[in-house]
Structure 1
Amino acid sequence: MLTNSRRTFIGALVGSATLAGCGVFDSEPEPPPAPDAFQPLLDEALALAASYDRVIVAQPALAARLTPLAEDHRAHAADLARLIGAAAGSAAPSVSAPSGGADTTATLRKAEQAAQKTAVAACKAAPADRAMLAGSIAACRATHAEALR
């Protein structure tokens, strides 16, 4: 016959084994959280601003025309970073900008059109509290594409 203290001890062992099996005592780190659905918009905004900057450096005569468009992308990046809790200055994939004069605005225009599609898709998939920002970014990117004609 088991005494009270032995029952308590055995119960504690069984309880610990159960807890150990459920992951409480596992040393495996938690997987990183999935990236925010708006992260691609942030990455594109940063990449587009950098692309405009490269074209402006290569073609200073375009600075007056392109600087406001680059600034729009930096403003979008700041808004998106605030919304998703990311760093606005984080590295982004580069959107290539050619060094030739005639093709620079055409390449930027293609990049704007592709990025506008991303923003439209994000707007359609976003909850109502985020759709307005994504829609605004999509409209701005479409306007930029037209301004680059």
Structure 2
Amino acid sequence: MRMSDAGHTRRRVLGATGGLAGAVTLGGCGLFGDDEPEPAPAPDPLQPVLDEALALAGAYQRLAVTQPRLAPIAEAHRAHATELAKVIGATLPSGSAAPSAAAVPGTVAALRTAELAAQKTAVAACRAAPAERAALVGSIAAARATHAEALR
């Protein structure tokens, strides 16, 4: 049964209409951003405290070669990094791959300056942290203040 002189049958018109509707439906999926990847989650607020712990541990370890009294402080920073990583669900770098370890210059005076700056970061993080994280971050802030005094 012909619908017009152009040769379109009802079956052909319905098939084309159905195909067009399907194409619009599938093509429209991306119009509202549904197929875009989710944005990356924001970094954990304690990540800077963790990064500084790793950097300080590396810096202390480098100086401990010539000043062994600094080795226990390096170990304390590694312990802080381990606990922070557990809390925020981060994976620590292996071995000497600690990020930013070279960011702290290799003198005691520079190490003290870095320790004081890191202590301020920890204090700010402690103030902003929920109760279940505040005790850990507060103890790290206190340890960093003590480390800075030990470097006088």
Same fold (TM over 0.5): yes
Bigger Rg, which one? 2
Query: For each residue in 1:49-94, what CA deviation from the matched residue of structure 2 results, as whole angstroms up to 9, or x when unmatched?
Result: 111111112x2xx20x211111110000000111111122263212
- State the alpha-carbon separation in 1 of the partners of residues 134 and 19 from structure 2: 57
Q: 1:50 and 2:58 equivalent? A: yes
| Pairwise CA distance, 1:22 | 1.6
CA 1:16 to 1:111, structure 2 compared with 1: closer, same or farther past 3 Å?
A: same
Which residue is 1:19 aligned to? 29
Which residue is 2:7 aligned to? none
Unaligned runs of 5+ in 1: 99-103
The RMSD of aligned alpha carbons is 2.5
| Pairwise CA distance, 1:30 | 3.6
Amino acid at match of 1:91: A
TM-score, normalised to structure 2, is 0.76
Query: For each residue in 1:110-137, what CA deviation from the matched residue of structure 2 results, as whole angstroms up to 9, or x when unmatched?
Result: 2111110000011111122211111110
Query: For each residue in 1:94-120, what CA deviation from the matched residue of structure 2 results, as whole angstroms up to 9, or x when unmatched?
Result: 21113xxxxx2x322221111100000
Runs of 4+ more than 3 Å apart: 2-18
Which residue is 1:118 aligned to? 121
CA 1:111 to 1:20, structure 2 compared with 1: closer, same or farther past 3 Å?
A: closer
| Pairwise CA distance, 1:139 | 0.5
Which residue is 2:6 aligned to? none
Counting aligned pairs with the same residue, the percent is 55
Which residue is 2:145 aligned to? 142
Which residue is 1:132 aligned to? 135
- State the alpha-carbon separation in 2 of the partners of residues 6 and 107 from structure 1: 75
TM-score, normalised to structure 1, is 0.77
| Pairwise CA distance, 1:10 | 6.4
- State the alpha-carbon separation in 2 of the partners of residues 71 and 127 from structure 1: 26
| Aligned pairs for 1:97-108 within 5 A | 97-98=106-107, 104=108, 106-108=109-111
CA 1:43 to 1:25, structure 2 compared with 1: closer, same or farther past 3 Å?
A: closer
CA 1:83 to 1:34, structure 2 compared with 1: closer, same or farther past 3 Å?
A: same
Unaligned runs of 5+ in 2: 1-9
